[in-house]
Each structure stands twice: as C-alpha cells, then as structure tokens.
Amino acid sequence: MTGADEEIRPAPVAEILPAGRIRLVETALPELSRRHRAAMDRVWEEAVRANPALFDGPVAALTGVERDGADGLVLSWARTTYRRHALRRVPGAPVCASLFVSVVQPAEDGRMVVGRMAPSTAAPGRWQPPGGGVEPPEAEGELDFAALRAHAARELAEEIGCDTVPAALTPWLATRGGRGDVGIHFTAPPRPAQEVYDRYAELVRTETARGSDPEFDRIELIASPADLDRLEGPHADCLRPVVGRYADV
C-alpha cells in the first residue's frame, strides 16, 4: 500500500468506507525479489495440485487506497494474475490486496441472497454475496466505475443466474477487510423469492450439463445478521457489515 493509505488502516473485520465518489488509477505492480517469486510459484503450484480447478487468470490487484475529500476514494490498482494471491501464504512477502465487486440481490419479501462457494473454488465453503475479483480491461481499455458495474452484473448472472443490465445496479457502499481487500457493493432490483431460487436452479442444471461446477453450491435468502449465525462455514469478512447495513435500510 502507498503511504497515503495509512489514513484508512485495515481492521480485524471489514469496515464501511466512504464511497460517494470512486476514482480508479492504474499503477505498476510492485516488483518481487527472486526469492519471493520462487516461493509464490511454489505455493501456487501446490494449490493447483490440491485443486486443479484453480485458474491463473487476470485480476486487478489493489495497490493503494486514499481518501478523496469527505466521501470519496481513490483506488490504485495494477494488472496481475491470481497466482499473485499465493504470496499471502509466504511469510514476509509483499502482498497486494484484492479489489472486488459484489451485488446485494433482494427478494421482494426483503431478504437478500448469499451463496456458499463450491469445493472447486479458491474459497470452498465460504458464504458471501454474489461477486468476485475485478478483471483488468484489455491493454487499451480503462478500468472505471462503469467497468466495475458491468463486472458486477456479469458476476450476478454467472453465480446465481439473475440477468440484470448494468444500468439497473445501484452503487451502494464500499468495504475494506482485515487484509486490506476493498469491495465495491451494488444493489439490484428486487425479484420474487421463488424466481431467485428458480433462476439459480436453472443455472445449476445448465452448468452441470456442460460438465462444470457452479461457483455457488448453495444459496440462501437472509434478512439480518442474526441469520448469518445459522450458516455453517466461514463468512467473507465483508458479509456481516453488508448484511447489517442492508438490514438497517
């Protein structure tokens, strides 16, 4: 992280960040020593042997967070691949935080969707809202707020089968977790609860017919932080504050 990032320190659990305005700035990825690169490759290869479904695809690493006035954020990011996350398991290695998006999909009865990550994913058994790490644009493209919204809409469709045009997603809040990961969270238009379950079931049938595993192996509709206590397994560190803020709306 940059020196200016000291204003917003990582907390043990995710905190709500001011996010009335968000600006993204591309930066260079910090260089690794030969020792750290070798350790990263070794840890990544061990992870792939344990879970061959892991894919070293492109992802945006978060390299800095600065406040922009009273309600804004400037997020610095760099192009990398998921292999870089293996550094989190290398003692003393320089680690870049993650930049991700998520979507609160409400049901018409006031509950919201959460999903449990499948065994084939990088975080098996973890409960979280639909979403994922942000992918960098093509070489000539720009990662801006419109790109974040489009990525969030794509994650919503890919994980629970709810097709929503990006323009229908409303920017809502931002969080920062204990490891420094920053999430930009959107809300989607409400859908009937049965429609949500039916769309997810159709997605599972389609993915299974293709020989693929869906990213979520289960979804639930919850209304408050108290509902999280009955969900067995780990929770994404953003989940409780997101659900708490949603319950207060």
pLDDT tens per residue across span 71-115: 899 999 999 999 999 999 999 999 889 999 999 999 999 999 999
CA angle 38-40-42, nearest 5°? 70
The pTM is what? 0.91
**pLDDT score, position 248:** 87
Compute the distance between CA of residue 35 and CA of residue 32 in angstroms, rounded to an integer.
8
The span from the CA of 40 to the CA of 234, in Å, is 25
Cα–Cα distance for residue pair 177/128, rounded to 1 Å = 13
Q: According to the model, what pLDDT value does residue 201 have?
A: 97
For residues 50-54, average pLDDT: 91
What is the residue whose two structure tokens read 């260089």? 31
Q: Where does the pLDDT of residue 218 fall: very low under 50, low under 70, confident under 90, or very high at 90 and above?
A: very high
3-state secondary structure at position 233: coil
3 vs 149: which has the higher pLDDT? 149
Q: Residue 2: its pLDDT value, please? A: 31
> Binning pLDDT at 50, 70 and 90, where does residue 4 land?
very low
Q: Which one has a higher pLDDT value, 110 or 4? A: 110
- Residue 13's pLDDT is what? 72
pLDDT at 7: 38
Output the pLDDT for position 5: 35
More confident: 1 or 52:
52
For β-strands 58-68 and 72-81, DSSP reports them as: antiparallel
Runs of H (alpha helix) within the chain: 34-50, 145-160, 193-209, 225-228, 239-248
**The pLDDT value given to residue 141:** 79
Cα distances (angstroms) measured from residue 170 to each of 13, 30, 235, 243, 245: 24, 33, 24, 16, 15
pLDDT-derived band of residue 199, with 50, 70 and 90 as boundaries? very high
DSSP type of residue 44? H
Strand partners, 196: none
- Cα dihedral 139, 82, 93, 144 in deg (nearest 10): 40
